[in-house]
Amino acid sequence: MCSAIRSWNSAGKEESRPDHPIRLLEIQTTPHTSRGKYKGGSTGASTDGILRIATNLLHVPAEVIALIYIFRWTIEIFFRFFKHVLGCRHLLSHSQRGIEIQAYCAIIACLLISLWTGRKPTLRTHEMICFYFSGLASAEELLAHIAKLKSRDDVAQKI
């Protein structure tokens, strides 16, 4: 979480300021380092460990705003999963009812895949099921994919 939080009112050139009050929060954080192909080094820009958040929520405690920001990233991760793994990059309808139906169908599909495979759905599993329903993959190929997932889980449990 954050170890130190400081807030103050905005300052700067008159013409660059918005017409409403803004509060700038500084949140001391531990910088994230990637554990990817760069062997523990970060792939992004270097940081001083201070997260700066500008907000118009003037009467909300800084700790609450920091929590809102943390939960915002949880929601962003869900939508990345929703778009990337479940294939909901584009809306099939622009009406509220159509969007609700698309979202519910994707979530139901995700739960069914999870129940069938016994694990979190992956992009490859979703693609394989789509290939099956579109006629590009046979039932045997789909079942072989699911069996391969389950055998990997069995090997991982033995280790």
Q: How many domains does the chain have?
A: 2
Residues 9 and 23: beta-carbon distance below 8 Å: yes
Is the domain of 93 the same as that of 53?
no
Q: Is residue 73 part of a domain?
A: no
Same domain, 158 and 89: yes
Per-residue pLDDT, averaged over 72-96, amounts to 82
Tell me the percentage of the chain whose pLDDT exceeds 90. Answer: 6
Domain span at residue 21 reads 1-60
Predicted confidence at residue 97, as pLDDT, reads 93
Q: What is the pLDDT of residues 129-148, one digit of tens each?
A: 888 888 999 999 988 988 88
Tell me the C-alpha distance between 112 and 155, whole Å. Answer: 23
11, part of any domain = yes
What pLDDT is attached to residue 32?
67
Flag whether 72 is in a domain. no
Q: What is the mean pLDDT of residues 79-101?
A: 83
